[in-house]
Structure 1
């Protein structure tokens, strides 16, 4: 059994083929897609967070709205860039969203990926401390977020408050019990996956990571997951770890599928260079008729190692088509691979 969710980048734009012409379109359709996905048995609705772009950026209003209109589907992010965040204010937002959803928030955070503008976090008022780079700043803020999320009081109360205070130091409100145990870290390397395990976070591994061995992407990602699980065990955590991987997977079952994604069938892993001249490997997309797709996915070692699979969806093609994409996976692929 495997949990299956969708991951939306939340694009919009003035393009004649887009069903999402505006931010309003994308936000409202994201809610509709989550409701529809729950009805066909999808387990999770996850959203990317990018700043300074025509994409989803402020996740908590969206997640709260989805939480209020659904009953069982997990809601989450993949990922929130902690370089841009105020950890304390984020705790209040996350606590509210989790309470509204009845404890279904699965919050993915990270140090972030290359952004639309140079050092965009500076515009948000954040600077690395002396001797610290932006990645270290992101991890430091993540640890502060985790610490304060425990719900232990840390702030000295005013002796003359507007409203009566409980005894002792004050914590942030609203507090949502259990949310600390549902935080995920988006790791782009083996080292940060181990760091996530040591700090009691679940692991999100996307379709790109540092090329650390020259092996195929899915093999490197599987190795990363195994290192994470070993580190989790060594850290002595009492609960079971969770791991998600994301993939672009399309079952070609009609002419429109072939028109949109038939060219993806021959795609391979790609090697590139991102910030700081790091050699990076990008995982392939999968697109084929269901019987062939099942055979290809059965060879993906990382999917086998993960308990959760996030299917990246082409949100600009609209709710109805994305429900079709997800339904095809649930009907033709998931049962054959033992995911359902």
Structure 2
């Protein structure tokens, strides 16, 4: 059994063929798709976070709205770039959104991905300290965030407050119990996965890895997951961690599916490229008729190792089509693989 959700990049563009022409379209259709996914029996609605782009940015208005419109589905991010974040403000927003959703938030955070602008976090007011990289700054922000969401008091109370204080150093409010166990780190390498385990965070692994050893993507990602779990066990944590992987999977069951993704299924290989000056390996797209798709997915070692699968959706194709893709996978593929 696996948790199966979708991951949307939230693109919008006013071009022919796009059903998502504006920021309002992207936000409102994201809510509608989450509602539809819950009705279809999916387990999660996750959203990418990008700044300076026609994509979804600050996620909490969207997550709170979905939390208010749904009752069961997990709601998350994949991922929030911690270089851009004030960890205290993030903790307040996350606590509030999680309370609205009844404890269903699953927040993916990380150093972030390549940006639309040069050092975009500087425009948000954050600059790495002397001898510190932007990745160091992201991890520092994350460390503060993780402390304060667990209710640690740190702020000196005013001796003459407007309202009575409970005593002692004051924490961030509101608090949402259990949120700390529902934070994931987006890891792009095996070493980062081991670091993630040492922090007691769940592992979120995407459709690319920022390293390449020459073996297929799914095997390298499976090794990443194995190293994460080995390090987790070495740390002696009591709870079981969660692990998610993202995949582009499109069951071809209609002529419309074939028009959109039939040719993609023929190009069924990983890709190797360069990100930030380093070699990276990108996972393949799976697109085929259900019987063929089932056989291909049986061979994916990383999906087998993960407890959560996030389906990357092409949100500009609209709510109805993406709901159809989710339903096709849940109906025609997942049961045969033992995921349902």
Gap regions ≥5 residues in structure 1: none
Provide the TM-score with structure 1 as the length reference: 0.99
Counterpart in the other structure of 1:254: 254
| 8 Å CA contact retained: 2:217, 2:283 | yes
Counterpart in the other structure of 1:226: 226
Pairwise CA distance, 1:140: 1.1
SS in 2 for 1:262: helix
Pairwise CA distance, 1:152: 1.5
Q: How far apart are the structure 2 equivalents of 1:212 and 1:317?
A: 32
Pairwise CA distance, 1:266: 2.1
C-alpha distance after superposition, 1:22-46 (max 9, x if no partner) = 0000100000000010001000000
C-alpha distance after superposition, 1:267-318 (max 9, x if no partner) = 210111111x111000000000000000000000000000000000010011
Pairing 1:74-89 to 2, within 5 Å after superposition: 74-89=74-89
Give me the CA root mean square deviation. 0.6
Q: How far apart are the structure 2 equivalents of 1:58 and 1:24?
A: 14
Counterpart in the other structure of 2:274: 273
Q: How far apart are the structure 1 equivalents of 2:212 and 2:19?
A: 39
Q: How far apart are the structure 2 equivalents of 1:225 and 1:149?
A: 26
Gap regions ≥5 residues in structure 2: none
Counterpart in the other structure of 1:303: 303
Pairing 1:191-230 to 2, within 5 Å after superposition: 191-230=191-230
Q: How far apart are the structure 2 equivalents of 1:17 and 1:328?
A: 22
SS in 2 for 1:128: coil
Q: How far apart are the structure 1 equivalents of 2:161 and 2:211?
A: 55
Q: How far apart are the structure 2 equivalents of 1:215 and 1:319?
A: 36
Counterpart in the other structure of 1:93: 93
Counterpart in the other structure of 2:30: 30
Q: How far apart are the structure 2 equivalents of 1:167 and 1:146?
A: 22
Pairwise CA distance, 1:121: 0.2
Runs of 4+ aligned residues of structure 1 deviating over 2 Å after TM superposition are: none
Counterpart in the other structure of 2:178: 178
| 8 Å CA contact retained: 2:210, 2:275 | no
1:123 matched to 2:139? The reply is: no
Q: How far apart are the structure 2 equivalents of 1:108 and 1:314?
A: 20
Counterpart in the other structure of 2:239: 239
SS in 2 for 1:10: coil
SS in 2 for 1:336: helix
SS in 2 for 1:57: coil
Pairwise CA distance, 1:190: 0.7
Counterpart in the other structure of 1:143: 143
Counterpart in the other structure of 1:169: 169
SS in 1 for 2:336: coil
Provide the TM-score with structure 2 as the length reference: 0.99
Pairwise CA distance, 1:148: 1.3
Pairing 1:34-45 to 2, within 5 Å after superposition: 34-45=34-45
1:103 matched to 2:100? The reply is: no
Counterpart in the other structure of 2:337: 337
Aligned length in residues = 339
Q: How far apart are the structure 2 equivalents of 1:125 and 1:84?
A: 8
Pairwise CA distance, 1:211: 2.4
Counterpart in the other structure of 2:52: 52
Counterpart in the other structure of 2:153: 153
Pairwise CA distance, 1:16: 1.5
